[in-house]
Amino acid sequence: MQFTRAIVRPPPASFADGLTRMDLGVPSLPLALEQHAAYCRALQSCGLTLIALPADPAYPDSCFVEDTAVLLPEGAMLTRPGADSRRGEVEGIRASLANAWPVLARITEPGTVDGGDICEAGRVVFIGLSPRTNAEGAAQLAQWLRGLGYEPRLVSIHGIDTILHLKSGLSWLGDGRLLVMGALAGHPEFADFERVVVDDDDLYAANAVRVNDRVLVAAGFPRVEAQLRALGYSPLALDMSEYEKMDGALTCLSLRF
């Protein structure tokens, strides 16, 4: 929950060629860059120092840095993204992690893991089984997490086709609380957490980022902001329209540590 740094990478000129299941139109690069700059300023206003990597046009989805690694105070693991077109993004992140974590674990073939499927919630880490994170990748990650003293819990999102990754429908708010979509709220693995359930119409806002004293939320969801305020949080709303078109949300634009 307490972070001091974040890795970010702006969208490249090839951004519109990235993967998406959405039908929301072609993203505007200038607007995406503006929204990215606002996102970076928001992280800085929460006290984070940014490690800003240059845009990488070889990888249209490379601004979604979260999918390339799992970072914990005790260790870091490079992932092996589920989409072929994204595998090469991992090498580009390795060097920026090596300073903080001289030893980097990594998911190996045939395992696949996207960071967007991994939700740390204190000593529990939820691992989403999804079209991007397979059982072998989840097993490798779970073993590594157990070695670090964490409790991995598997949550399948197969069959919930409104979300790409587990964290598209789940966020850790701290304080024993999860922000969660209706379809996942009754999952037995969440039973010992307090659940703040977002309305189905507010699904996109189920992906939020607790950063120190603030919670970053997607702009345009006043009901979710009100739910958060009622619990004593201080939401900071950010316009994410161009990233939503590419199936991305707030958490995926940074690796926080």
Q: What is the binding site for ligand CIR (CB under 6 A)?
A: 18-20, 61, 64, 66-67, 83, 86, 115-116, 164-165, 168, 246-249, 251-252
| Residue given tokens 């999102």 in the structure block | 157
Q: Which one, 202 or 247, has the nearer CB to ligand CIR? A: 247
Q: How far is the CB of 29 from ligand CIR (least distance, A)?
A: 14
Q: Which one, 62 or 140, has the nearer CB to ligand CIR? A: 62
Q: How far is the CB of 241 from ligand CIR (least distance, A)?
A: 14
The values of phi and psi at residue 93, to 5°, are -100, -25
- Nearest CA to 92 out of 256, 255, 257 is that of 255
252 given a catalytic annotation: yes
Q: Which one, 155 or 164, has the nearer CB to ligand CIR? A: 164
Q: How far is the CB of 164 from ligand CIR (least distance, A)?
A: 6
Strand partners, 179: 171, 196
Q: How far is the CB of 83 from ligand CIR (least distance, A)?
A: 5
The catalytic position among 40, 46, 63, 252 is: 252
Q: Which one, 140 or 171, has the nearer CB to ligand CIR? A: 171
Residue 33 three-state SS? helix
> Rounded distance, CA 191 to CA 185, Å?
9
At 242, the amino acid letter reads: E
Number of other CB atoms surrounding residue 145 within 10 Å: 24
Q: Label residue 174 left, alpha or beta by phi (over 0 means left) and psi (-120 to 50 means alpha).
A: left
187 given a catalytic annotation: no
57, two tokens: 């046009």
Active site residues: 165, 252
